[in-house]
Amino acid sequence: MSETPRENKAKKIFVANGILHGHFTGSVEVVRELVALGYDVTCCVTDEFADRLNDIPVKKIVYSSDVSEVAKWLPPYAPPFAINSFMVGKATYMLMELLLKDETDYDYYIFDCFFDIEEMNKVLKLDSSKFTIIYPSFILTDENQFDNARLIGLQWTSQHYNINLHDFVGLIFTPNKIKKLILTSKFFHLRPEDTDDTCYFIGPHIEQRVEDKSFTFQKDENKKLIFISLGTIFGRDLDFYHQCIEAFRDSDEYQVIMSVGKFVDIAETFKDIPKNFNIYNYVPQTQLLPDVDIFITHAGFNSTSEGLASGAAMVLVPQAVDQFDVARVVEKLNAGIALNKHEITITADIIKKAVSDAYNNRENFKAGRDAILNSFKEARNDRKAIYEEIFA
């Protein structure tokens, strides 16, 4: 029997997954859906996230982006993205070495937006018409997102290949003609009228992770539950945490859970924790949110999507990058309250008032929230048709 013609075989897709939580989470469901549609998918994934692909029948190429030795030399005041720049630099090197040696005839490539594939391809010399970039939120910004300090972690890889890798955050907002899978809706996107025909809006995926039974928490039904989280990267704003403690200390109205991230030493940082507060380095967010009345979030896109879906009243306190744009859009669409630290000093009184206003206006915000969620649903409904168009 003669071999099946190449065009009748499952199309091969290579996916370079994101190396940070928000970026990886955004790509998981895309991978799952492509496999379900019959594509032959190979994922290049860090060892930190490899297990989260175990229930999806993909080929996995696992590598380490560990830069803990570098981290030891960074000063304690180094900005949150300092270590991430070295992670991106190492991941870029690992990915390039893999692709330079891989002789697989892939039909398509999907890259997380942190990979500077245009610059990388000066060495890889792949067919760029096969490229698609996956974006976790927006491709436009109203903030200055470029920071040359983030180039430091890319220098070794740039010098090794004699290329000029760009600032990986600013790179997201640099126009290019590569096809883009954008994990939001056009309705929710910043300045949707300025997007072009390379943009395919496929809506966010709100990941329902396995229940973390080690997280034991009892809600006080006589109090409103506030959940405070600045995410996995920007969780070191200690002054903000202390302002929150002062805002709700020993309150008869509020019970508070605060997630401060893995870089904060709770015992060292918080000497006098009020009885109505529980402070953790990590909280399983999607597990907790259904019980939350008010969600104070850094406005990361995944956290914002999860908060909108939960129905909690939202106070958005952006810390960096696209979070200011996300908070701006939520407030514009009348779905929450934004506090911009570039415009105001965020004190305990301001936090307390924002929480009260968000909760008291939760019915007014419902229409805006529902409009956003409906747009997400419509965008997700288009996914199959979009995949079939891009990966024909």
pLDDT tens, 32-42? 999 999 999 99
Q: Tell me which long-range contacts 154-157 makes (C-beta under 8 A, separation of at least 24).
A: 154/85, 154/88, 154/89, 154/92, 155/89, 156/89, 156/93, 157/89, 157/90, 157/92, 157/93, 157/96
When mean pLDDT is compared across 60-69, 231-240, 375-384, the lowest value belongs to: 231-240
- Please state the domain extents for the chain: 10-183, 224-376
172 has pLDDT over 70: yes
Q: What are the E-state strand segments in the chain?
A: 12-16, 40-46, 59-63, 108-112, 131-135, 179-182, 199-201, 224-229, 254-259, 277-280, 294-297, 313-316, 337-338
pLDDT tens digits, 127-142: 999 999 999 989 999 9
What are the phi and psi torsion angles at 373 (to 5°)?
A: -65, -35
Neighbours of 167 (CB within 10 A): 21
pLDDT of residue 3: 40
Percent share of the chain, pLDDT over 70: 96
pLDDT tens profile 255-267: 999 999 877 888 8
Longest dimension (CA), the chain: 78
pLDDT of residue 4: 40
Mean pLDDT estimate for the chain: 91
Q: Which of 11-15, 118-122, 172-176, 210-214 has the lowest mean pLDDT?
A: 210-214
Are 10-183 and 224-376 equal in CATH topology? Answer: yes
pLDDT in tens, 175-204: 999 999 999 999 999 999 999 999 999 999
- Burial (Cβ within 10 Å: 0-12, 13-18, ≥19) of residue 60: middle
Query: Which of 29-43, 66-80, 240-254, 276-290 is least confident?
Result: 66-80
Confidence of residue 81 (pLDDT cuts 50, 70, 90): confident
Fold of 224-376: Rossmann fold (3.40.50)
pLDDT band at 76 (very low <50, low <70, confident <90, very high): confident
CA distance 266 to 259: 10
Q: Parallel, antiparallel, or unpaired: how do β-strands 40-46 and 12-16 relate?
A: parallel
pLDDT at res. 21: 83
Supply 165's token pair: 């890798």
- Given this model, what pLDDT does residue 208 score? 66
pLDDT band, residue 1 (cuts 50/70/90): very low
Q: Long-range contacts of range 205-211, CB-CB < 8 Å, 24 or more positions apart?
A: 205/25, 205/26, 205/28, 205/29, 205/30, 205/380, 206/286, 206/302, 206/305, 206/306, 206/309, 207/25, 207/28, 207/29, 207/286, 208/286, 209/284, 209/286, 209/287, 211/284, 211/287
- Report whether pLDDT(214) > 90: no
Select the highest-mean-pLDDT range: 2-6, 82-86, 119-123, 201-205: 119-123
Mean local confidence (pLDDT), 349-354 = 96
Q: CATH classification of 10-183 is 3.40.50.2000, yes or no?
A: yes
- pLDDT at position 8 is 47
Give the span between the Cα atoms of 87 and 183, in whole angstroms: 23
pLDDT class for 209, splitting at 50, 70, 90? Answer: low
Task: Please report the pLDDT score of residue 344 as a whole number.
Answer: 93
CA torsion sign, 91 to 93 to 94 to 100? positive
Contact 254, 230 (CB under 8 A): no
Is 18's pLDDT higher than 60? yes
Q: Where do we find the tokens 């697989």?
A: 104
**For the ranges 100-114, 269-283, 371-385, which has the lowest average pLDDT?**
269-283
Question: Using 50, 70 and 90 to split pLDDT, how confident is the model at 25?
Answer: confident
pLDDT for the residue numbered 235: 66
**For residues 336-340, average pLDDT:** 96
Q: How far apart are CA 238 and CA 294, in angstroms?
A: 20
- pLDDT score at 2: 39
Band of the pLDDT at 210, cuts 50, 70, 90? low
The pLDDT value given to residue 181 = 97
